[in-house]
Structure formats: C-alpha cells, structure tokens
Amino acid sequence: APFQFVSRHHRIIRNISTMKINRPALICPSLLSCDLARLHEEATQMIDMGADWLHMDIIDGNFAPNITFGPPVISALRSSLEKTKPHAYLDCHLMVTKPSFWVEPLRKAGASGFTFHLESEMPEGGVSAMIQMVRDAGMKVGMVIKPGTPVEELFPYVKDLDLVLIMTVEPGFSGQKFMPDMMPKVKALREKFPDLDIQVDGGLSPKTIDAAAEAGANAIVAASAIFGSDDRKGVIDALRAGVDSRAE
C-alpha cells in the first residue's frame, strides 16, 4: 500500500510501497538543538534515554550558511563522556567545503563516524580517495547528498560506505520542514542495498517518521522534535517504534 504523510499544514501522498528494513533502528539526536551551555548533560541524557548515536553537525559557514561545532567541541565532548559513556558514538556530519582537511583533526578529537557531502570538494584521487582517507583514520565513513542531488550519483560508492545520509531539508539550520519528496531516494537505496544503514536528517518527528521508515530509512536524525519536547524519551521511543514496525 502507498504511504501517506499528513501534517497540520498539508497532505502529501506518494505511491511508494512500504519497504522492509533488516537493519537496526538508530536514533540520532542532533545536539545542535540542545542547550549548548549544558552539552555534556544533554548528551548524557540522550544516551540514558536510549539514543544510539549523538549527531554532531559540523558546518564551516561556507558550504552551508551556519557555523557550528568543530574539532575542539568534539574533543571536549569526548573527554567529558570518557568516564561515564566511553562508548558513545559521535556521528559527525560534515557540511564543509573541503572535508579532507577535517579528517585528521576529527580523528584526534575522537569522532566515531565521518559523513561527508558528495557535493563538496574532493582531494586528489576523488571520492574514492576521500573514502579511503576516512577509513584509514579509523572512523566509520558515510556519504550524504543534498535534496537537489540525484541519488544515483551515490551508487558507485555505496559498496565502500558504512552509511548513506539523505538530507530531507537543505543543510544549515534545524527546525525546517520535512521534505517527503526525498523518500523515493531512500526507497531506491533500500531496494538496491538492503544491508545499508540509511540515515535521514531534517524535519524528522513522530509525525514524519512513518514516511521515512516506510521508504526504508533506519537511522533517524531528530533535532527540535526531541529537544523541544517535554517528553524527550517519548519522542525517541516513538521514532524507534516507527522504524521497528517495518523490521523484517
């Protein structure tokens, strides 16, 4: 049956059959929307409430119109979590012009995952060299595309990736509306690469999780939906339930 996405503002129906997911649900609160004066406490709370990864948006003000975290913040957070949450997964999404410049600093800072944009500038050797650079640094490697980039451009590289991220808003700021017309990209990836971790980022909430999960996403980035809620754990649980309901 086709999925149906409904919001208070509009109703969109897409003829996409429900995809089965054989990857675990990964709920990834985006700490850019937390109380940054209490970063350690907020990160710890997210893990205690069941979050799988801590999503860190690293934006250079050039690739996308915002300036956010950098290696010093990642390092400080890693150090602060070392005693109580030593296995915390710091999921770093690089919205930067030259991601190759950030590999070594983020390795030293303690990043767990390094997801870079296909649209950014690549080092000598191209995309494959960039992937290998991250892999050699000991981090999990992901690739992400903006809404305007065809998903087919990712296909040649997926075999070498741990994760693919489909942006469901334009990069830069949290609080934007979910773009359901990005779901055919997710479905195409899930059909072609059934064992891939597929992440979505932008406007995800209990109201939009069904559309993302039905298309095949299993890694869910949520920002204001979690940190703006009076029941943060309830939101995390609802996002997980949305993915789990499509599990094989």
d(Cα 145, Cα 208) in Å, to the nearest integer?
20
Contacts of 37 (CB under 8 A, 6+ apart): none
Q: Measured between alpha carbons, how far is 158 from 144 in angstroms, rounded to an integer?
A: 11
**Residue 57 falls in the annotated catalytic set:** yes
Given 52, 57, 91, 210, which residue is catalytic?
Answer: 57
Say whether 48 is catalytic. no
CB 43 within 8 A of CB 77: yes
Selected catalytic residue, list 60, 91, 197, 201: 201
Q: Are strands 11-17 and 2-6 parallel, antiparallel or unpaired?
A: antiparallel
Which string of DSSP letters, residue by residue, matches 33-71? GS-GGGHHHHHHHHHHTT-SEEEEEEEBSSSSS-B---H
Which runs of consecutive H residues, i.e. helices, occur in the chain?
39-48, 71-81, 103-109, 126-136, 183-192, 209-215, 224-227, 232-244
Looking at the DSSP bridge assignments, the partners of residue 28 are 221
Catalytic residues: 57, 201
